[in-house]
């Protein structure tokens, strides 16, 4: 299992427990997020603390997950390593996503 999900109130905290978010697990990320959204939760905190490598497939899965939450949902990313943050910066995706240094900060933003 590459992901751990916790629902607090109406916010899903999805933790990637794999060290690589690449083509081998990207489809699973989309499937997990689709299940969360299908169950009615459209507010999601994506915790990338354990991820030290992400390729274009992983980035694409994150973007797809963001789109799945819809216009009425919220999607934030937390705990990026320097390597993953650099990918977001190089692709200008850091302008699209709300990024927080910790799950607590991302969660508190959604609760505000």
60 burial level (CB within 10 Å; 0-12, 13-18, 19+): middle
How do the pLDDT tens digits run along the chain, 112 residues long? Answer: 899 999 999 999 999 999 999 999 999 999 999 999 999 999 999 999 999 999 999 999 999 999 999 888 999 999 999 999 999 999 999 999 999 999 999 999 999 8
SS (H, E, C) the chain: CCEEEEEECCEEEEEECCCEECCCCHHHHHHHHHHHHHCCCCEEEEECCCCCEECHHHHHHHHHHHHHCCCCCEEEEECCCHHHHHHHHHCCHHHCCEEECCHHHHHHHHHC
Query: For the whole model, what pTM was predicted?
Result: 0.96
Domains of the chain, first to last: 3-111 (3.30.750.24)
């Amino acid at each position: 299992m590459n992901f751990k999900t916790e629902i607090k109130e109406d916010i899903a905290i999805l933790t990637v427990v794999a060290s690589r978010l690449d083509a081998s697990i990207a489809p699973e990320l989309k499937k997990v997020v689709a299940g969360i959204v299908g169950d009615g939760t459209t507010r999601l905190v994506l915790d990338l603390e354990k991820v030290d490598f992400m390729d274009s497939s992983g980035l694409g899965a994150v973007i797809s997950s963001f789109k799945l939450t819809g216009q009425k949902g919220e999607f934030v990313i937390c705990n990026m390593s320097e390597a993953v943050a650099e990918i977001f910066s190089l692709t200008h995706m850091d302008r699209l996503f709300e990024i927080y240094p910790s799950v607590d900060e991302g969660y508190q933003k959604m609760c505000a």
